[in-house]
Amino acid sequence: MMYEAGTALMERFLDPEILPESVISLGPATMEQAMARSRSISHPDRQWQTYLNTLALFGVAQWFAQRAGDISLNQGQASILLPSYASVIPAVCNLVAKGFKLCLIATTSQPDEVVEIPRAAIDLPDFIPHFYVVVAIYEEQAQVMLHSFLRYDQLASRIATIPPDEDWTYPIPLNWFDPNIDRFLLYLRCADPGAIALPEPVIDLRTALATLQTELLHLLPQLQVNDRPWWQTLTWEQGSVVLSTPPLLNWILTPQSPSPLPTADSPHPHLSDLLQLLTRPLINVGNWLQDQLDDLAQQLSWVLLPPLSSQMRLKESGDTMPRDEFEAIVTQLQRQGVTLLPDARAAFSNLVIGTIPVRLCVITATFQEAGQPPEWSLLVVVGPAPGNHLPYGTRLRISDTTGILVQRSLTPVQGEEYLFSEIFGTLDETFLVTITVPDGASLSLPPFSW
């Protein structure tokens, strides 16, 4: 009898004619859009939560438009709209209203006595909001209700009393939340975001990644091939680093095509390259146009050559590249249709890979097309050390954070002495160059940046 009375009361509460101002009705097109977004998630067990989160976002956006038109809701970085986060954080993080960060916690109908908040939204500064907002989803009625809210500073003062669950969530008592949504709106209109201090990152992400690199190289491929929740594969320490590193998330969630030139010791070459791009110090080739080598290039004994447009003769010494050798490189490049810009700068380094001595020449330049952002080029030429021949089967691989861009191998069919490739990128892109010789030995250079 009490259940029937409660159901009747809820139905009356959700009657469109007497809806409170915290309840929003969603149209069929909005419901279908949320369903379509959930279908884009590959893991079936995560589709339902994605659907609820999307309804929560649409409902809250509509609530702001109807109830608080003077407050704009910035959804540009909302986690549910970013493919790398939509399926791995079961909440809507990084909404912004008047400088306040919001985190929406979607629940089916009325929330229980405990609200499950993702650990990422409590422990990771990238996702911590000023306000947690519980959003009740009444899917059958196509209605969304802003149920209650909780300030981060109030949560932070009490969270030590609640240990996180093993599934990377915190069980937060519902009675910690304030059901007065008018008070939430008052905060947004009258308070200063600085009054609720949010924590700054306390870990050096590059150092943390370097420490966990070997473990992640083994564990992350497992997340691609099974539907197990991540917390069953990764520790929270590992998971927190991955969640804070979008390129790693993108790698996990992007199907990987088979490598055309696989190596026995590197079944996931791009993941290996990616971890190096994220952890190793960089060689700044932009300095070359200023006639400078950075400290790292100097430590690795790189030698900067004069500008291509200069009439200065290259010294015939063991410390630099002889003029005829560089001209042979330029001739081969021209035969392959590669044109060097007059202001391009080149540098070279002598390397030993396994037992094979090689000479690496890198040529760089910057350019800008009308109406486009500036770009830079990286032309990598692998050749024999003086008095040697580059063995057939030597391979060149170039990667960036999105994938393997180039894989080339020196073959007798080419009839060339040098192995080369040219790539282009925006000024914030970095590239990793790996050279592998026929006996299987390989060497990855420090990433090149502009």
Check pLDDT > 50 for residue 311: no
What is the mean pLDDT of the segment spanning 63-69?
91
What is the mean pLDDT of the segment spanning 396-421?
89
- Beta pairing partners, 134: 105, 148
Within a domain: residue 271?
no
What is the mean pLDDT of the segment spanning 257-263?
54
Same domain, 111 and 176: yes
Q: What is the mean pLDDT of the chain?
A: 87
Within a domain: residue 269?
no
**The amino acid at 340:** L
CB 447 within 8 A of CB 431: yes
**pLDDT at position 102:** 98
pTM (2 decimals)?
0.84
CB 397 within 8 A of CB 407: yes
Q: Token match 């249709």: residue?
A: 337
Same domain, 312 and 248: no
CB 1 within 8 A of CB 7: no
Check pLDDT > 70 for residue 237: yes
**Most confident option among 5-14, 199-208, 389-398:** 389-398
Q: Which range (101-110, 175-184, 406-415) has the least confidence?
A: 406-415
Same domain, 66 and 162: yes
**Phi, psi at 178, each rounded to 5°:** -95, 120
**pLDDT at position 203:** 81
**pLDDT at position 212:** 96
Alpha carbon 450 to its chain centroid, in Å, reads 20
- Distance in angstroms (rounded) separating the CA atoms of residues 144 and 25: 6
C-alpha to C-alpha distances, 299 to 276, 283, 302, 303, 408, nearest whole angstrom: 19, 11, 8, 11, 28
Check pLDDT > 90 for residue 379: yes
Same domain, 178 and 42: yes
**pLDDT at position 257:** 61
Same domain, 298 and 414: yes
Q: What is the four-CA torsion angle of 311, 312, 318, 322, rounded to 10 degrees?
A: 10
CB 447 within 8 A of CB 276: yes
Same domain, 148 and 108: yes
Indicate the pLDDT class of residue 246, thresholds 50, 70 and 90: very high
**pLDDT at position 7:** 40
Within a domain: residue 260?
no
Same domain, 37 and 178: yes
pLDDT tens digit sequence for 160-192:
999 999 999 999 999 999 999 999 999 999 999
**pLDDT at position 225:** 80
Higher pLDDT, 319 or 257: 257
**pLDDT at position 323:** 64
CA nearest to 364, candidates 283, 263, 245, 264: 283
Check pLDDT > 50 for residue 307: yes
Same domain, 386 and 347: yes
**pLDDT at position 16:** 41
Same domain, 333 and 393: yes
- Distance in angstroms (rounded) separating the CA atoms of residues 126 and 340: 43
Retrieve residue 74's tokens: 């910035």
- Distance in angstroms (rounded) separating the CA atoms of residues 85 and 91: 10
Same domain, 154 and 210: no
Check pLDDT > 70 for residue 414: no
What is the mean pLDDT of the segment spanning 380-407?
92
What is the mean pLDDT of the segment spanning 273-295?
95
Within a domain: residue 266?
no
Retrieve residue 350's tokens: 């002598």
- Distance in angstroms (rounded) separating the CA atoms of residues 231 and 228: 8
Within a domain: residue 187?
yes
**The amino acid at 441:** A
**pLDDT at position 442:** 93
Check pLDDT > 90 for residue 145: yes
What is the mean pLDDT of the segment spanning 151-157?
97
What is the mean pLDDT of the segment spanning 98-117?
93
**The amino acid at 316:** E
Same domain, 249 and 398: no
What is the mean pLDDT of the segment spanning 110-120?
93
Within a domain: residue 265?
no
What is the mean pLDDT of the segment spanning 420-430?
94
Higher pLDDT, 335 or 259: 335
Within a domain: residue 239?
yes
Higher pLDDT, 36 or 13: 36
Give every CB contact of residue 26 below 8 A, 6+ residues apart in sequence: 55, 58, 59, 62, 142, 143, 144
Same domain, 242 and 340: no
- Distance in angstroms (rounded) separating the CA atoms of residues 272 and 403: 11
Check pLDDT > 80 for residue 447: yes
CA nearest to 317, candidates 327, 331, 303: 303
CB-count burial class (<10 Å; 0-12, 13-18, 19+) for 26:
buried
**pLDDT at position 325:** 72
Within a domain: residue 264?
no
**pLDDT at position 67:** 87
Question: Domain of 410?
Answer: 281-449
Give every CB contact of residue 80 below 8 A, 6+ residues apart in sequence: 37, 50, 53, 54, 57, 86, 92
Check pLDDT > 60 for residue 258: no
Check pLDDT > 60 for residue 52: yes
Check pLDDT > 70 for residue 436: yes
Of 151, 174, 195, which closes a domain? 195
- Residue 276 CB coordination number (10 Å): 18
**pLDDT at position 344:** 87
Q: Which range (24-38, 214-228, 247-261) has the least confidence?
A: 247-261
Indicate the pLDDT class of residue 17, thresholds 50, 70 and 90: very low
Domain count along the chain: 3
- Alpha-carbon dihedral sign for residues 155, 159, 160, 161: positive
Check pLDDT > 80 for residue 11: no
Check pLDDT > 80 for residue 223: yes
What is the mean pLDDT of the segment spanning 223-234?
88
Pairing mode, if any, of strands 283-284 and 448-449?
Answer: parallel
